[in-house]
Amino acid sequence: MAIVWFWKAINTGDRVDSALKDMAVVMKQLDRSEEAIEAIKSFRPRCSKNSQDSLDNVLIDLYKKCGRMEEQVELLKRKLRQIYQGEAFNGKPTKTARSHGKKFQVTVQQEIARLLGNLGWAYMQQAKYLSAEAVYRKAQMVEPDANKSCNLAMCLIKQGRFEEARALLDDVFTSRVLGADDCKTRQRADELLSELEASLPRRLDAEMEDVLGNILDDDFVIAIGLEEMTASNYRSKRLPIFEQISSFRNQLVC
């Protein structure tokens, strides 16, 4: 019944922004995510410019729900590029976000780390483990915490790099990273350690390493804002965080 009222509001132009977003969330809960995606794509031109970012975030969740990884990856890259070019934060260190009717401040570091985390997950679903590793390392550099350590450890386990993964998990177990005391994170670290130990007899041979070496996403570096921007209007808005991480360019592209 709620969806009927949302459609009515959208068709009559009554608070289209919130009606479209809320309808998509309800559709997702009802396992109608594909329909929600099409609704957002069709009606977002009627929404204000300020609502586009929140609609993108809903789309990211919907793509994830539907397993539409390619579209999720492209959207995440676009949003990261917008931050790099100064379009998302307008060159400011924070922006106002809204969740469940409440407003709060989000820093550029938090937003970059969130988007990179989603991008890494999407690459993992595509078995692009080297791309996922590079993205997870970038997220950990921007805003390190125990959950990101677990994500990176999982990625390394998939590549058969068990000792590197164990070192990351040890950081969680010894509380050397922020958030290591969280019960769910600890439980996940335990599960990853069990997976690691169960995988120890197996080793990647040279052929498998060649396969992994060929699945690096060639343009993901552009997506996380490491390319040189020559346009002066972009450079003038370039955020300090990208200046801080630009020295890692060669590590990621080699």
Residue 145 lies in a domain: yes
pLDDT score of 244: 47
Residue 205 lies in a domain: yes
User: For the chain, what is the domain count?
Assistant: 1
pLDDT in tens, 52-105: 988 999 999 999 999 999 999 999 999 999 888 888 877 778 887 776 667 888
Alpha helices in the chain (DSSP H): 2-12, 16-29, 33-43, 52-66, 69-84, 108-125, 129-142, 146-158, 162-173, 183-199, 206-213, 220-223, 232-235, 240-245, 249-253
**Full-model pTM:** 0.77
Write the CATH number for 79.
1.25.40.10
pLDDT in tens, 101-148: 678 888 999 999 999 999 999 999 999 999 999 999 999 999 999 999
Residue 10 lies in a domain: no
Residue 37 lies in a domain: no
Q: The domain containing residue 128 runs over which residues?
A: 67-253
Contact, 40 vs 58, CB < 8 A? yes
pLDDT score of 223: 46
Residue 229 lies in a domain: yes
Residue 87 lies in a domain: yes
pLDDT score of 181: 94
Q: At residue 207, does pLDDT exceed 80?
A: no
Count CA atoms within 13 Å of residue 30 on its CB side: 12
Residue 33 lies in a domain: no
Helix (H, G, I), strand (E, B) or coil at 105: strand
Residue 199 lies in a domain: yes
